[in-house]
């Protein structure tokens, strides 16, 4: 009665396995891909992620936070690269607050190693889920040899990502709400390698952005001294993946639009034509759970676009909340799953919307002077009145406040900033500032 | 080069086949179900539909409009049945304007008969589509004997309904936007048979509504003297399908909430427990077309809820617009499909939203006195100023104006009515009324 089948051994699957094992459950994890511990080579250059407070809290529950931070690079702010002129810099939060660039591969490997230390966790790689029976909590897998395995447990947790087989099975049941919504932009990873003498070619402890209006490039530092760049770019149109077909076109475009980056990208043309162009999807669905038999978690329940750096952090928070529900309701899994869904659905929807909003901010607003000025005012406000005012970015990134609250505070903060800037109020005028903040927060609660 | 495969031989599939045949194309229609012409019995009691101006225009293009109207019952307005007290009546439009209750089965049979008169239309029943190749416009079908048939044409039009196989195939391509969104209400069909001496038990030329706040029952007249009732009711909750499990519960509930209907429903209990409970879904997707190879049409592209009576009318309008695109672009199907999608997507989205909005109006607002008073004012306004003011219902039902315009005119009309009612303006004060209408319309265009 205590056997849990986890479908998907990625970041959230392996973390959730450890949480469940610590509570004494018998956990079987089935992963479609080969064991990435035997294939470390690819990990070094794999995409990196921005770990922040929510993810760190989740890792701290299994004692991994400090170890992972040692292999991470703190990014204390954003460095904006205009086409011409000086770099601009925006701190993300208070002086010691940072988001952390970590390698997805290294983090996943460390979580799998930890999972393997538990005798009640059984890892099965190269097992692709081809069917799920929702009533009996039975799953069918095909292994590399093509042999089918039917696995019956007491319940299934689907942690199989944005294109989850578990969700696909729910999707053909009646009254399952579902949406997949693609951006008109895709992305392509590129590389800024370490300097020839070693070391970083740009400021290391920063997330770099080349905002270009309707598109952008970003770069995150890796411990080896390189940066992983990602170009977020329209699929179609005048400046688009479709319009850059030849080496000449790519080179001309990059030299014109990213002139300071090109000299740091010796393998630009090779990377551009070798690396895939991937699409960006938001997936929402409901319900996430089926009685006490199945629950979706992480990207399987709510795939989001990467512009707030919260995909992994949100999935890890799912694990924390589900674990807390198990703590409250013990083996009453009908209650566990129902409360987990109740607590998480609204917040997953909120971070999905915030992530889409932040794309506009990153690619466009951060290249705009009035916006940068406003961000300066906001940063000072945050410093002067940390008890009264948090920026939305801080709420999402440096607190565990529900995402839905952070979403609804966005317009409140905007009104506070508008009033301060339009009326040229001295930020040090504590009584007026605090009155404005209190009034706008009260207006939100009164609505 | 001129062979078109139509997948789905329902209402829009059979109509589209005739349009294409008239233009000389070779059309193969594949329908999953048996030929309904051999199975007329079920047609009499099958669900009826409300045919209005858009649908009639589409039928007139193949000369079927007058013949179908002869077998239809005009409904000139709504009759509201409160729990207690007198019936209320609202005309739908001007004196001679009506929507027409027709049998889906009879209409579909007539369209199939017409299609069969064309030597260049080939009907294939009991052929279920199991796969589509988007690049070669090839479709694979399984017939009743389980034999597979691979059919290659020059292009495919998917008219296979809300759960379309053709759309399913598009859905697993990259960057296909898709949503399916269910109401918390389901529906069940019930029956008011003819009176024992023959004839109708209620006013015949009306759509009957029992509005009950968060749910409702409606009834549409059939030529045989019976009414098809539909209960739109929550799946879960205090008053819901889930809470009505025994004959006693059903009888008690209907006697309490639909006291005037129960004596007219001798087979209520049998119908309630025999007829299925079905769900109500809105499906949106994009793109609808793939180059010159495939297009979705009707419910396959945009399933909507039935509360504006526009599902069939909208699908028929798709056929008209697609036919007009063929007229403009001839055999340049890349252009035909692109223009068809451009013209229809925005309007299909609009009628989907209007249909959901109208559920609230039908089940709730029409039982509300202030709302009825406002409708009276609006009706008079429509009568007095037919050139200046159209109700949203009239725009959708009695014109061929794009649905998207009707949607955006909703708030404009609401502001016009608010100003007239709040300022107690005499409806006969032509200059003031016309000024208000002009101002609010101008405000919309200025936004």
Query: pLDDT (tens digit, 9 = 90+) per residue, B195-227?
Result: 999 999 999 999 999 999 999 999 999 999 999
Contact between chains at B177 and A182 (C-beta distance less than 8 A):
yes
The values of phi and psi at residue A393, to 5°, are -60, -45
Q: Is the pLDDT of residue B62 over 90?
A: yes
pLDDT at B447: 58
In angstroms, the CA B105 to CA B44 distance is 7
Chain A residues inside the 8 Å CB shell of B182 = 174-177
Q: Minimal CA–CA distance to B5: which of B108, B118, B154, B135?
A: B154
Q: What is the DSSP string of B60-127?
A: HTTT-HHHHHHTSEEE-EEEE--SSS--EEEESSSTT--EEEEEHHHHHHHHHHHHHT-TTEEEE-SE
Q: What pLDDT band is residue B193 in, cutting at 50, 70 and 90?
A: very high
Q: Does B174 touch chain A (CB under 8 A)?
A: yes
Lowest-confidence region among A58-67, B33-42, B120-129, B256-265: B33-42
Mean pLDDT over the full length of chain B: 94
In angstroms, the CA A404 to CA A401 distance is 8
In angstroms, the CA A263 to CA B122 distance is 64
Q: What residue spans in chain B does CATH classification 3.50.50.60 cover?
A: 3-46+103-179+284-358
Contact between chains at B235 and A175 (C-beta distance less than 8 A):
yes
Nearest Cα residue in chain A from B286: A181
Contact between chains at A177 and B175 (C-beta distance less than 8 A):
no
pLDDT at A365: 83
Q: What residue spans in chain A does CATH classification 3.50.50.60 cover?
A: 3-45+104-179+282-358
Chain B residues inside the 8 Å CB shell of A175 = 182, 235, 279
Chain A residues inside the 8 Å CB shell of B176 = 180, 182
Chain A residues inside the 8 Å CB shell of B180 = 176-179
3-state helix, strand, coil in chain B (%, to 5): 45, 25, 35
C-alpha distances out from residue B365 to A211, B214, B362, B370, B381, Å = 49, 10, 6, 9, 20
Q: What is the DSSP string of A277-308?
A: PEEEEEEEEE--EETTTEEE-GGGT----GGG
The values of phi and psi at residue B385, to 5°, are -125, 60
Residues of A146-170 as b/e, b for ≥16 C-beta within 10 angstroms? eeeeebebbbbbbbbbbebbbbbbb
Q: Is the pLDDT of residue A334 over 70?
A: yes
Q: Is the pLDDT of residue A44 over 50?
A: no
C-alpha distances out from residue A20 to A28, A132, A135, B271, Å = 11, 21, 22, 49
In angstroms, the CA A134 to CA B413 distance is 49
Q: Does A173 touch chain B (CB under 8 A)?
A: no
Contact between chains at B176 and A180 (C-beta distance less than 8 A):
yes
Domain A3-45+104-179+282-358, CATH? 3.50.50.60
Contact between chains at A179 and B175 (C-beta distance less than 8 A):
no
| Beta bridge partners of residue B90, listed in sequence order | B78
Q: Is A42 exposed, middle or buried (0-12, 13-18, 19+ CB in 10 A)?
A: exposed
A41: which DSSP letter?
Answer: G
Q: What is the DSSP string of B167-222?
A: HHHHHTSTT-EEEEEEEEEEEEEEEEPPPTTSS-SS-SSSEEEEE-SS-EEEEEE-
A335, A337, A343, A344: CA torsion to nearest 10:
180
Q: Distance, in angstroms, between B378 CA and closest chain A CA?
A: 31
Number of H helices, E strands in chain B: 13, 19
Contact between chains at A181 and B181 (C-beta distance less than 8 A):
no
CB atoms near residue B424 (< 10 Å): 6
- The residue whose two tokens read 């702010």 is A77
pTM for the complete prediction?
Answer: 0.90
In angstroms, the CA A349 to CA A403 distance is 9
| Beta bridge partners of residue B129, listed in sequence order | B141
Chain A residues inside the 8 Å CB shell of B177 = 180-182
Q: Does B38 touch chain A (CB under 8 A)?
A: no
Residues of B182-201 as b/e, b for ≥16 C-beta within 10 angstroms? bbebbbbbbbbeeeeeeebb
Half-sphere exposure of B275 (CA within 13 A, CB side): 21
Contact between chains at B178 and A175 (C-beta distance less than 8 A):
no
ipTM: 0.85
CB atoms near residue A67 (< 10 Å): 12
B12: which DSSP letter?
Answer: H
In angstroms, the CA B314 to CA A309 distance is 42
**Alpha carbon A79 to chain centroid distance?**
20
Give the DSSP H or E segment for A403. helix A403-422
Q: What is the DSSP string of A137-180?
A: TEEEEEETTS-EEEEE-SEEEE---TT-HHHHHHHTSTT-EEEE
In angstroms, the CA B61 to CA B327 distance is 13
| Average pLDDT of the residues in A312-341 | 97
Inter-axis angle of helices A11-22 and A104-116, nearest 10: 30
In angstroms, the CA B124 to CA B358 distance is 38
8 A C-beta contact, residue A115 and residue A16: no
| Digit-coded pLDDT (tens) for B111-150 | 999 999 999 999 999 999 999 999 999 999 999 999 999 9
Chain B residues inside the 8 Å CB shell of A181 = 177, 179
In angstroms, the CA A436 to CA A216 distance is 35
Q: Does B235 touch chain A (CB under 8 A)?
A: yes
In angstroms, the CA B374 to CA B418 distance is 9
Q: Is the pLDDT of residue A399 over 50?
A: yes
Percent of chain A with pLDDT over 70: 98
Choose the mutation target among B175, B284, B338 for the interface with A, i.e. most A CBs under 10 Å: B175
C-alpha distances out from residue B60 to B19, B53, B64, B317, B320, Å = 11, 10, 6, 12, 11
Tokens encoding B256? 């309490």
Q: Does A387 touch chain B (CB under 8 A)?
A: no
Contact between chains at B181 and A177 (C-beta distance less than 8 A):
yes
Among A174, A175, A182, select the one facing B175 at the smallest CB separation. A182
pLDDT at A444: 86
Tokens encoding B430? 């032509």
Q: Is the pLDDT of residue B367 over 70?
A: yes
Q: Is the pLDDT of residue A99 over 90?
A: yes
Choose the mutation target among B168, B173, B180 for the interface with A, i.e. most A CBs under 10 Å: B180
Q: Which fold has domain B3-46+103-179+284-358?
A: FAD/NAD(P)-binding domain (3.50.50)
8 A C-beta contact, residue A116 and residue A20: no
Q: What HEC string does B270-337 produce?
A: HHHHHCCCEEEEEEEEECCEECCCEEECHHHCCCCCHHHCCHHHHHHHHHHHHHHHHHHHCCCHHHHH
| Digit-coded pLDDT (tens) for A276-307 | 999 999 999 999 999 999 999 999 999 999 99
pLDDT at A39: 73
């Amino acid at each position: 009665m205590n056997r849990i089948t986890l479908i998907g051994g990625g970041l959230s699957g392996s973390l959730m396995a450890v949480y469940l094992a610590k509570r004494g459950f018998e956990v079987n994890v089935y992963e479609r891909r080969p064991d990435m511990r035997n294939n470390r080579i690819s990990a070094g250059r794999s995409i990196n992620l921005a770990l922040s407070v929510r993810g760190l809290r989740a890792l701290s529950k299994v004692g991994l936070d400090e170890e992972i931070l040692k292999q991470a690079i703190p990014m204390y702010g954003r460095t904006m690269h205009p086409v011409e002129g000086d770099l601009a810099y925006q701190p993300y939060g208070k002086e010691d607050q940072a988001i952390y660039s970590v390698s997805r591969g290294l983090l996943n490997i460390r979580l799998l190693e930890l999972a393997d230390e538990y005798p009640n966790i059984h890892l099965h790689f190269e097992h692709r889920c081809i069917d799920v029976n929702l009533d009996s909590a039975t799953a069918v897998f095909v292994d590399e040899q093509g042999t089918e395995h039917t696995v019956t447990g007491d319940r299934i947790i689907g942690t199989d990502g944005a294109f989850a087989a578990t969700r696909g099975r729910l999707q053909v049941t009646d009254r399952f709400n579902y949406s997949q919504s693609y951006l008109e932009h895709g992305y392509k990873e590129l590389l800024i390698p370490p300097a020839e003498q070693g070391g970083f070619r740009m400021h290391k402890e920063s997330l770099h952005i080349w905002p270009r209006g309707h598109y952008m490039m970003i770069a995150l530092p890796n411990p080896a001294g390189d940066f992983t760049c990602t170009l977020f770019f329209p699929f179609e149109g005048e400046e688009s993946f479709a319009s850059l077909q030849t080496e000449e076109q790519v080179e001309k475009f990059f030299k014109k639009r990213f002139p300071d980056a090109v000299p740091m990208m010796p393998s630009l043309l090779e990377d551009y034509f070798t690396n895939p162009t991937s699409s960006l999807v938001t997936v929402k669905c409901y319900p996430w759970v089926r009685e006490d038999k199945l629950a979706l978690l992480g990207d399987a329940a709510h795939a989001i676009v990467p512009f707030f750096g919260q995909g992994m952090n949100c999935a890890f928070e799912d694990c924390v909340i589900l674990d807390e529900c198990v703590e409250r309701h013990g083996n009453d899994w009908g209650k566990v799953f129902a409360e987990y869904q109740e607590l998480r659905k609204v917040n997953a929807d909120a971070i999905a919307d915030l992530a889409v909003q932040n794309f506009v901010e990153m690619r466009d607003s951060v290249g705009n002077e009035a916006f940068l000025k406003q961000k300066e005012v906001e940063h000072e406000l945050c410093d002067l009145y940390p008890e009264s005012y948090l920026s939305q970015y801080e709420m999402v990134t440096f607190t565990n406040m529900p995402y839905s609250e952070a979403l609804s505070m966005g317009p409140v903060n905007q009104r506070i900033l508008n009033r301060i800037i339009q009326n040229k109020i001295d930020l040090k005028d504590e009584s007026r500032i605090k009155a404005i903040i209190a009034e706008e927060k009260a207006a939100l609660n009164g609505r």
